[in-house]
Structure 1
Amino acid sequence: MIQWRPDVLGEGFESLTFELGEDDAPEVVERTPEQQEGPLDARQLVATLIRSLPERRSQWARATGRRREFEDVDVLYVHGWSDYFFQTELAKFWTDRGARFFAIDLRRYGRSLRPGQAPGYIGDLADYDAEIEFALAEMRSTAQRNHPERKLVLLGHSTGGLVLSLWASRNPGVADALILNSPWLELQLSARGRQMIAPIVNLGAKLVPLEVLPQLDYGFYARALREVGPKADVARINAEWKPEQSHAVHNGWLRAILAGHDRVYRGLNLDVPVCVLLSTRTALPARWSEELTRADTVLDVEGVSRAALRLGRSVTLERVDGALHDVFMSAPGPRGDAYDRMQRWAKGWRRALE
């Protein structure tokens, strides 16, 4: 029986780990004798659900005070590539306003990564449906009786934004809103560049899915986070779960990403309103400079902004001046602007439902 336990983030956070079955995919590397006989079996796939709940108000406060604006809202967060959930400030934004906040560490990421597994590897982004659907089932089963019909906000960062956008497209009518924090909706080489390299990547993924592709990562994004991000969140980053230089990129994983980008390019026709938060500019991280603390050094924000318009019929694009790739890990000024923009959009969305 799975149970909620205190989480590594400390007071106010709980987590539960659930099994996804044995993995027979080619990405599993050779196991040591110790891993073959114990709970740390590289073939055992797991995912982790984390939650933070709003403080309960007294009966007197509920009777005499104003209703918190998101008391009937559940938020489900999915992290990006080479990442995991650690952003307590983001959770507190939602719980202070009455919402229940949940996050998933996907298989082979963060809390769910097991020795002997290729970090972050996936052969098909649709495989993440298992994690998302388990999370939603658990959220429904623990909903308060006074709010049986809760609204669902999907909140995704980078690759997590791509994953949730595709999931919402395949599962219309489930989510009520989608908020995307610098979603990876298009390859940095543009749609034409993606189409040119896709046949090569697909062939490599078929023949040698675990072959590691070359990439240049000097750790400058991690440095920018340390220099300007919220101090408490930065201090608790687990370097094994979110390394300074990103996880290795494999042929099979890149094929899955390119397939997701192609699906977005052809249009998702999402049936829910979408809010996309992006930095105003991209900076090339070839060498360190202070500019890298005021720009997205991971994605081409102009390419993403164009791709965002293919998500659905109601898309709001919010450009945050001076923001990093994770807009909620930016310097105090742009970070506050990002929260203000998200709150304004979310309040408008919620009131429109009344």
Structure 2
Amino acid sequence: MTQQDAGTDAAPSTPWHDDLLGPGFEARTLDLPDGAEATLVRLAPSVAPGGEPARVAVLAVHGFVDYFFHPHVAHTLADAGYASYAVDLRGHGRSWDAHVAADRDPNQVPDISVYAQDLDVAAATIRAAGHERLVVLGHSTGGLVAPLWAAGRPGRADALVLNSPWFRLNEPRLTRWAATALVEAVAPVAPRAVVSHLGPDYAAALHADHGGEWQFDPAWKWHTPFAVHAAWLRSVLRSQRRLARGLDLEVPVLVLASDRSSRDEHLATDSVLDVADIRALAPRLGDDVSFVTIRGGVHDLALSPAAARAEYLRAVTDWLGASV
């Protein structure tokens, strides 16, 4: 993944305003190059709880067809003494409208390295608030984007926490090879060609309307099949190959994953990724990598059933306390 050049320490385009998550949460738009926008969210009471900025800030980065709707994570971090921020990357969630209005595909870009610009501006905005150290907490695709950004931008993050990071396509080797050949052939001539679909079952199983625990907007986290375009998937596969060659990160990294994978058990296993791939590739991030297995965790460990969710949040805050 080639990190996009940016000059991206631009000022946010809007002041902080009330966020859809309710009392205590605020959001602001971040101006990006070429008229793009991302959205930064914060739990305002966590930023300067004693009148001074919290020393450590944590920035959450969501996955594919996803956005930040995790107030329990923000409050857990705040209770542990950390400033809690999250970013909705361009084209996702709160940042959807501007992206689509510019005739861009929701939740997708031709090259995911452009998300480095989103993280640059988010990180600069957080640093400007006076926090001394920044931890980036990436989930799934965010867990692929974050370490590649950190490798390409040394010094911008002080630590990484990766929640079920998407290190490898969850398919047999021959299928991965075929997918790579397909998108390498198709993307240059038809970048928006549909080459696959993200299945809806996992997201639907999480939602309260289908018996799950969580309320989120199905217009932003779909319950129906979502079309995957050739250029986007090509950039993901290229990024995964880059990570597999080794990143030599100089910051501490915590990687967390479920204890099992299954295509069908959406509420007790990782039904999206193969946890064996995550475990095998985690050491290639750098020399200071810790790995924690969460028994009974789902793909987004923060949305696991109560016991696994508590174990996940405890593992994250304990590691932060010891490592940052």
Compute the TM-score of the two structures, normalised by the length of structure 2: 0.88
**1:215 counterpart SS class:** strand
Matches within 5 A, 1:326-345: 326-345=300-319
Rounded to whole Å, the distance in 2 between the matches of 1:315 and 1:11 is 36
Which segments of 5 or more consecutive residues in structure 2 lack a partner in the other structure?
1-12
The aligned residue for residue 135 of structure 2 is 153
Does 2:215 correspond to 1:215?
no
**Identity, % of aligned positions:** 37
Give the counterpart of 2:44 among 49, 53, 56: 53
* Residues 248 and 142 of structure 1: CA distance in aligned 2, closer, same or farther (over 3 Å): same
Does 2:72 correspond to 1:89?
yes
How far apart are 1:215 and its partner, in Å?
3.1
Asked whether the 8 Å contact 2:198–2:226 carries over to 1, the reply is no
Does 2:220 correspond to 1:241?
yes
The aligned residue for residue 7 of structure 1 is 19
Counterpart amino acid of 1:182?
S
Asked whether the 8 Å contact 2:80–2:317 carries over to 1, the reply is no
Asked whether the 8 Å contact 1:53–1:99 carries over to 2, the reply is no
Asked whether the 8 Å contact 1:213–1:249 carries over to 2, the reply is yes
Rounded to whole Å, the distance in 2 between the matches of 1:58 and 1:180 is 29
How far apart are 1:57 and its partner, in Å?
5.4
How far apart are 1:190 and its partner, in Å?
5.5
Rounded to whole Å, the distance in 2 between the matches of 1:140 and 1:218 is 37
Compute the TM-score of the two structures, normalised by the length of structure 1: 0.81
Rounded to whole Å, the distance in 1 between the matches of 2:140 and 2:302 is 12
The number of aligned residues is 306
Which segments of 5 or more consecutive residues in structure 1 lack a partner in the other structure?
23-43, 63-69, 286-290
Give CA deviations for 1:87-112 in whole Å, capped at 9, x if unaligned.
00011111112211111111111011
Counterpart amino acid of 2:90?
R
Rounded to whole Å, the distance in 2 between the matches of 1:255 and 1:344 is 37
How far apart are 1:320 and its partner, in Å?
0.6
Rounded to whole Å, the distance in 2 between the matches of 1:321 and 1:228 is 21
Give the counterpart of 2:105 among 118, 138, 147: 118
Does 2:172 correspond to 1:181?
no
How far apart are 1:176 and its partner, in Å?
1.4
Rounded to whole Å, the distance in 2 between the matches of 1:334 and 1:302 is 19
Give the counterpart of 1:262 among 217, 241, 257: 241
Rounded to whole Å, the distance in 1 between the matches of 2:280 and 2:172 is 10
* Residues 246 and 138 of structure 1: CA distance in aligned 2, closer, same or farther (over 3 Å): farther
Rounded to whole Å, the distance in 1 between the matches of 2:88 and 2:66 is 9
How far apart are 1:124 and its partner, in Å?
1.6
The aligned residue for residue 283 of structure 2 is 309
Rounded to whole Å, the distance in 2 between the matches of 1:311 and 1:321 is 23
The aligned residue for residue 80 of structure 1 is 63
Does 2:32 correspond to 1:20?
yes
Give the counterpart of 1:283 among 242, 245, 262: 262
Give the counterpart of 2:124 among 137, 149, 156: 137
Counterpart amino acid of 1:105?
D
Asked whether the 8 Å contact 1:228–1:293 carries over to 2, the reply is no
Give CA deviations for 1:240-264 in whole Å, capped at 9, x if unaligned.
1111135320001100100110011
| Bigger radius of gyration among the two | 1
How far apart are 1:191 and its partner, in Å?
6.0
* Residues 273 and 162 of structure 1: CA distance in aligned 2, closer, same or farther (over 3 Å): same
The aligned residue for residue 3 of structure 2 is none
- My pick for the range that moved more, 322-331 or 213-222, is 213-222
Rounded to whole Å, the distance in 2 between the matches of 1:132 and 1:218 is 28
